Chains A and B, each alone.
Chain A
Amino acid sequence: DTGVSQNPRHKITKRGQNVTFRCDPISEHNRLYWYRQTLGQGPEFLTYFQNEAQLEKSRLLSDRFSAERPKGSFSTLEIQRTEQGDSAMYLCASSPSPGTGDSPLHFGNGTRLTVT
Chain B
Amino acid sequence: QQQVKQSPQSLIVQKGGISIINCAYENTAFDYFPWYQQFPGKGPALLIAIRPDVSEKKEGRFTISFNKSAKQFSLHIMDSQPGDSATYFCAASMGTGRRALTFGSGTRLQVQP
Contact = CB atoms under 8 A, between A and B. Distances in A.
A15 to B, nearest CB: 25
Contact of B89 (A43, A45, A56, A102): A43
Nearest to A48: B100
Given A42-B106, A102-B32, A107 B100 contact: no
Given A41-B106, A42-B105, A93-B43, A102 B49 contact: yes
A108 to B, nearest CB: 5
Interface residues of A, number: 26
Contacts of B91: 42
Chain B interface residue bracket vs A: 20 to 34
Contact of B100 (A4, A33, A42, A102): A33
Interface string A101-112: 011111111100
Interface in A31-83: 31, 33, 40-45, 48, 55-56
Contacts of A93: 43
B106 A107 contact: no
A113 B39 CA distance: 18
A85 interface: no
Given A41-B106, A104-B49, A31 B99 contact: yes
A102 B42 CA distance: 22
B103 interface: yes
A4 to B, nearest CB: 7
Contacts of A102: 32, 34, 49, 51
Interface of A: 4, 31, 33, 40-45, 48, 55-56, 91, 93, 95, 98-99, 102-110
Interface of B: 6, 32, 34, 36, 41-46, 49, 51, 89, 91, 96-106
